[in-house]
Structure 1
Amino acid sequence: MDTKTRARLRGEAQALDATLQVGKSGITETLVKELKAQLEGRGLVKVRLLQSSTHDEGKDPVAERLAEESGAELVEVRGNTAVYWKRKR
């Protein structure tokens, strides 16, 4: 993803509310399925990373693993929130 695209997506993400949460059970199959479904419909999804999900490995590795498992691109991690994007077909 180039810098211009990333900047545009970060701007669009400011108006979004987080629609998913990664809780203490971490990244589950259900969470990945729901993220994939939302990405197909919206293209851009904001996910809240609860502190209980990131205390072992940190928020960046958790966010990157979720992107990898869902087939999405990680736009940014800011605070406890991650933004994911998948190009619509």
Structure 2
Amino acid sequence: MSLTGKQKRHLRSLAHHLNPIFQVGKGGVNLNMTNQIADALEARELLKVQILQNAMEDKEEIAQQLVEGTGAELVQIIGNVIVLYKESRENKEIELPRG
């Protein structure tokens, strides 16, 4: 499933007030981290990941690894923050606009 522009705008507005709950540093993205983020997405659906200054890879690469590792949708990369969304199976709360 790919998000439409309208859905991404909606998710960006919901994510605006969120604080990042994960950080990617020079260790990069690993399996443990993607598992934790996947669990957090199941609980929250929408979250932010902060990229620290000492991260070795660029933010697009890190975002891609997180998307592939968690099955989430990339909502946006803003500054050093990645916003991810994944519809929850058990705790669905976010209603996406159609189209």
Across the aligned residues of Structure 1 and Structure 2, the Cα RMSD in angstroms comes to 1.0
CA distance in 1, matches of 2:88, 2:70: 14
Structure number with bigger Rg: 2
Matches within 5 A, 1:1-89: 1-53=3-55, 55=56, 57-89=57-89
Which has the larger helix fraction?
1
Structure 1 stretches of at least 4 aligned residues deviating more than 3 Å after TM superposition:
none
> Taking structure 1 as the reference length, what is the TM-score of the superposition?
0.91
- Residue deviations 1:26-79 (CA, integer Å, cap 9, x gap): 0011110110010000000100011221x4x41111111111111111100000
Structure 2 unaligned regions, length at least 5: 90-99
Distance 2:15 2:4 in 1: 17
Partner Cα separation in structure 2 for residue 74 and residue 51 of structure 1: 21
Q: Any gaps of 5 or more consecutive residues in structure 1?
A: none
CA distance in 2, matches of 1:66, 1:45: 12
**Per chain length, whose mean CA-contact separation is higher, i.e. which structure has more relative contact order (CA < 8 Å, sep 6+)?**
2
Structure 2 CA distance for aligned equivalents of residues 51 and 65 of structure 1: 18
